[in-house]
Amino acid sequence: MGGKKSDGKVLAQNKKASHDYFIEDTYEAGMVLTGTEIKSIRNGKANIGDAFATIRNGEIHIHNMHISPFEQGNRSNPSDPTRTRKLLMHKEQIHKLLGQSKQEGFSIVPLKIYIRNGYAKLLLGLGRGKKQYDKRETAAKRDAQRDIQRALREKQKIAR
């Protein structure tokens, strides 16, 4: 049930997550938002770079997700753009995620926000932290792959 991918347009993405974590599994969660918050998200005014998720009392919450106040907002515009927001997931998924995240070195990382069937969704990843040498190794592999692709393109240009 875990590995769902987004269908809709990606509105916010956490690019730092793949640099800092090995993503083991992904989960899709709905978000409890106010009317003006969803308008801001649709305008692309959300940031999940510093966000993290916690599980308390059988509920999952996201912290430090910044949603800018809507310009034409009214009194339902929240005063705190980084307030803690509740996420909506099935109870079995929350329990599974709780068990996996309790292991040493694992954490729940928000990966991206997108719209699916008119609802804002958050893709959560179960991440295992990378060490410094893992980050260097990943960068070296990416550079090597880029060099291989560049060489293949050059070879194809010469063949024409």
Q: Which of 78, 62, 82 is nearest to 70 (CA)?
A: 78
The mean pLDDT value for 24-29 works out to 88
Tokens of 69: 């106040």
Give strand pairing partners of 114. 10, 121
Please write the tens of the pLDDT for every residue from 64-83.
Answer: 888 888 777 666 666 677 78
Backbone angles phi, psi at 104, to 5 degrees: -60, 130
pLDDT digits (tens, 9 = 90+) for 123-132: 988 888 777 7
Phi-psi region of 52 (alpha: psi -120 to 50; beta: other; left: phi over 0): beta
Output the pLDDT for position 40.
83
The pLDDT of residue 45 is above 50: yes
In 3-state terms, what secondary structure has residue 31?
strand
Q: State pLDDT tens for residues 96-118.
A: 888 888 877 788 889 889 988 88
